[in-house]
Structure 1
Amino acid sequence: MLKTSILVAFAFLAIAIFPLTASGQEMQEISLHAAAAKDDAAKIRELLAGSAAIDARDENGRTALLVATHGNKIQAAKALIEAGADVNAKDNIQDSPYLYAGARGHLEILKMTLEHGADLKSTNRYGGTAIIPASERGHVETVRTLVEAGTEIDHVNNLGWTALLEAIILGDGGERHQQIVRLLLAAGADPNLADREGVSPLRHARDRGFGTIETLLVAAGAR
């Protein structure tokens, strides 16, 4: 009877211990994501020295590095990247630290991802590489950085648009988008690569009244 009681006690103890262990691990990872959001590099290093898994995902599939990238938390991103965080790990909507930094113009984080194995061919949920949304949103230095990194200039996304087309179709025709068009053309973007409907970059520029961009395209051989 005593032996049975002891075995039952051990069974209850095991049941009690294992959930706590799992919960403790989970709490470490929740804390890691929280530290990333707060740009708390010291806390990140402390947690990684413990049991926190560096590429653990939250309910949205985001790693701590992607959380840091969302907030442009440079010190947190640096601590995570230097500790080996995956710069290409995608969340539930196909964003990665590299892709998100490019799309949002978070230049310092983007450069760190490029120095630590960013996959230049990786694509977002629209089938676009990082340079396409960067061009659309007018992030001049981001586009310059991605060009210099060797990104494919004429990649076509699921909408049938290149970076050049997005800079024109979704841009405002102002100075930033003019600079981006210059950068893309200088990097070898095809000025005659049309969209799915056969509408050329030049026609899109003319239809929008983007005179400077039209001049740039014509000078590059657009028809």
Structure 2
Amino acid sequence: MRHPNLTDRALLAALAALLGAMPAAAQVGPAEAEIAAYARSAETALHAAAQRGDLPALRALLARPDAAVRIKARDGHGRTALHVATFARQREAIRLLAGAGTDLGALENDRYDAVTIAAVADDETTLRVLLELGASAKLVTSRYDGTALIAAAHLGHDGVVRQLIAAGAPLDHVNNLHWTALIEAVVLGDGGPRHQATVRALVEAGADRSLKDRHGRTALELARERGYAELVRLLGA
């Protein structure tokens, strides 16, 4: 869809300003011109291409001499093109950006990395791609000094939790609320099937059930308080 405020001539002018003179073999087409138009907003051309999954535009931009600068550029939310591609589930764009040297562990303004973004979105496929490309499941992320594992456990994203455990996520990291992934799965969960599967995965992986919240309560005690019978069984086994 064409940017509503730009004529064809303005689109080409914007593109020329963004991409500069390029060899004839690398001349851009209408898709790249549209990307350039959107880049008049807070996002860069690379961000816009990543969000749309426009692989030809991404390749053209990453072939530029200034690609190393572009790939580090941040939008108004502190997001790199990788963050944007992850939000948009543009997996081939993620692969291109990774191959071009993007920082797979970069944190945006809310201190989320791409792995945590995928974990919160319950996006197992994108998470798998990120981990295969070398992204870490071990980073301290979010304003709560947590991890992707804690975020996924809180939401009951059991498949994500299993992936992160397999990738070496720290099982017993304590965030600034004094909660671990196991505690958070109880405190912020609903005790239902997905939180049960999450707790089961954490227990089977060896999460420390003796750790306590800031009030001295273990995950088992918290589950009892909430009447989560199946979690009590899993945690008391």
Query: In structure 2, how many angstroms separate the alpha carbons of the residues matched to 1:143 and 1:181?
Result: 9
Of 1, 4, 18, the residue aligned with 1:24 is 18
Answer yes or no: is 1:55 the counterpart of 2:72: yes
Aligned position for 1:160: 178
- Give the unaligned 5+ runs of structure 2: 1-13, 21-35
| SS of equivalent residue, structure 1 residue 184 | helix
Native 8 Å contact 1:103 1:131 kept in 2: no
Q: How does 1:15-164 map to 2 (within 5 A)?
A: 24=18, 30-50=44-64, 51-52=66-67, 53-124=70-141, 125-164=143-182
Aligned position for 1:195: 213
Answer yes or no: is 1:213 the counterpart of 2:207: no
Query: In structure 2, how many angstroms separate the alpha carbons of the residues matched to 1:111 and 1:164?
Result: 22
- Percent of matched pairs sharing the same residue: 46
| Larger Cα-atom Rg | 1
Native 8 Å contact 1:40 1:75 kept in 2: no
- Give the unaligned 5+ runs of structure 1: 1-19
Answer yes or no: is 1:182 the counterpart of 2:200: yes
Query: In structure 1, how many angstroms separate the alpha carbons of the residues matched to 2:215 and 2:107?
Result: 31
Query: In structure 1, how many angstroms separate the alpha carbons of the residues matched to 2:146 and 2:171?
Result: 11
Deviations 1:87-121 (A, max 9, x none): 10111221111222223222222222223332333
Native 8 Å contact 2:144 2:176 kept in 1: yes
**TM-score, normalising length from structure 1?**
0.82
Query: In structure 2, how many angstroms separate the alpha carbons of the residues matched to 1:59 and 1:120?
Result: 26
